[in-house]
Structure 1
Amino acid sequence: MNDEEVRRRFAEIAGGMTIADLRGVMEQIRRARVADYLERGRPELRHPPRPDTVCFRVRADLVGAKPPVWRRLDLRSSMTLDVLHEVLQAAFGWTDSHLHRFSIGGDGWDRNAQLFLCPYDVDEGEDEGVPASEVRLDEVVAESGDTLHYLYDYGDNWQVVLRVEDVRGMGEPVPLAVCVDGRRAAPPEDSRGLGGAELLEIQGDPAWFDPSEVNEALADLRFALREAGVAASVISVIDRLRYLPGGDRVEEVARTLVDPPTDIADGEVDAALQAWTWFLRRAGGEGIELTAAGYLRPADVVEASVVVPAMGAWIGAHNREAQSGPLLHFREALVRDGFLRKSRGRLLVTRQGRAGVREAQKIWDALITRFGGVVDGTHAMRGRHGALSADYSRDATICLLLMVAGGGRFNARVLEGRREVGRERTLRLDDVAAWLTALGWRRGDGPVEASELYEEGVRTVLENLWDGPRERADRGEMSDVARQFAREVLRRGSASLV
Structure 2
Amino acid sequence: MTIRAAGEDSGAVLLRVKVSIVGSDPAIWRLLEIDSSLPMDRVHEVLQTAVGWRDSHLHSFTDIDPYVRLRAVNGIVREPRRWVPQDLLEDSDEDLPETDWALGQILTPGSGPLFYEYDFGDGWIHRLELSGTVPAPGDAPRVRLLDGARRAPLEDSGGIGGYYDLLDALADPGHDEHEDVQAWVAWTAGPWQEFYPEQLDIDAVNNELALMFPSPSANEHGSGSESLTQELTNRIPPGLRREFRSYLHAAGLDGPATVEADVSAAMTAPYLWLTRRIGPEGLSLTTAGWLPPAVVREAMTELNWAKDWIGKANREDQTLPVLQLRESAQRLGLIRKIKGRLALTSAAKRLLDDPAGLWLFLARAFAHRHRHDSERDATLLLLLEVAAGKRTGWENYLEAVAFGLGALGWRTPTGSDVEPNAVQALLADAHEALVNLGVLDDRFELKAHAVKEPGQAFARAALHS
TM value normalised by structure 2: 0.49
TM value normalised by structure 1: 0.46
